[in-house]
A = this chain, B = another copy of it.
Amino acid sequence: MFAELNFNDRLREAQSRKESILCVGLDPDVDRLPRHLLRGNSEAEAVLQFNRTIIASTHPYACAFKLNLAFYEVLGRRGFEVLQKTRHMIPADCLTIADAKRGDIGNTARKYAQAIFEQLNFDACTIAPYMGRDAALPFLEYPGKAVFILVRTSNYSSIEFQSWPVEGVPFYELVARHAVRWNMDMPGTIGMVVGGTHTEAPAHLRAKFPTVPFLIPGIGAQGGSMQAATQAATIKGRILVNSSRNILYQASGANFATRASQVAMETQHRLNQLLTPYQP
């Protein structure tokens, strides 16, 4: 029955159950892992142990985990295994997002969709919009799952193309307008990636797209504002606020798990406090 819910319903359910809109980003950078994990371990083993500990320490405070695939691909031959094992460590009461930023066409996009939604059974995936709807359609064939389109990304050079004025609005807004039409007659859900470093973007886009789920990265290490992010949260328009480095790398000693747990809890609470005015 759960599988028949659409992604928005599943997101609402997960967020209500966990009383959290926090998504923990599992971006395990070998250069930043606590050194003791690497002693006598391969890099792949160290990452697995790190992820296992981070998931155990933070899942009570999170409604979702986002895995940035680059950090797994760079592990080479064992990357897929680490990705798959990490995916399966995530408790069933949390949603899972493959931050893959894929953007390809036709038969290629279909292959990516199979890998991410069938083999790895992620609940959602991020997609780059430049090639148009061809990049998203194969992912939208999956009921209950979501495709988060890069609309307003959190990085500095996002202004290079995304802010260009086109027909009186920034380019990213036109991308958003198109993207929300891509799932007509498709079972999948369209979501948007809206960087929390652009303080105006979350509320601006929410006003235009009242029911689209937003994935908001850039809080924490990138300096984004939790307050700006939560302004996009409404009962019907859900947001997922992602924090990666700020939770993962609080400490480099044996206390890294305790510190990660503490910061995840604080972030959950802070987000909930900020939400109160919007979601009574």
Contacts and interface: CB of A to CB of B under 8 A. Distances in A.
A278 interface: no
B71 A153 contact: no
Interface string A144-164: 000000100111111111101
Interface stretch (A16-24, A106-114, A198-206, A265-273): A106-114
A106 B71 contact: no
A102 B105 contact: no
Contacts of A130: 103, 128-130, 150, 153, 161-162
A130 B73 CA distance: 21
A212 B160 CA distance: 21
A158 B129 CA distance: 10
Interface in A93-145: 101-109, 111-112, 114-115, 119, 128-135
Contacts of A106: 155
A99 to B, nearest CB: 8
Contacts of A103: 101, 103, 128, 130, 150
A40 interface: no
Interface residues of A, number: 53
A93 B37 CA distance: 42
Contact of A160 (B29, B68, B132): B132
A132 B155 contact: yes
B134 A156 contact: yes
B107 A29 contact: yes
A153 B105 contact: yes
A41 interface: no
B76 A80 contact: yes
Given A77-B81, A79-B80, A101-B104, A132 B111 contact: no
10 contacts: A68-B108, A70-B102, A70-B109, A71-B111, A73-B80, A74-B111, A105-B154, A131-B158, A132-B160, A160-B178
Nearest to A30: B111
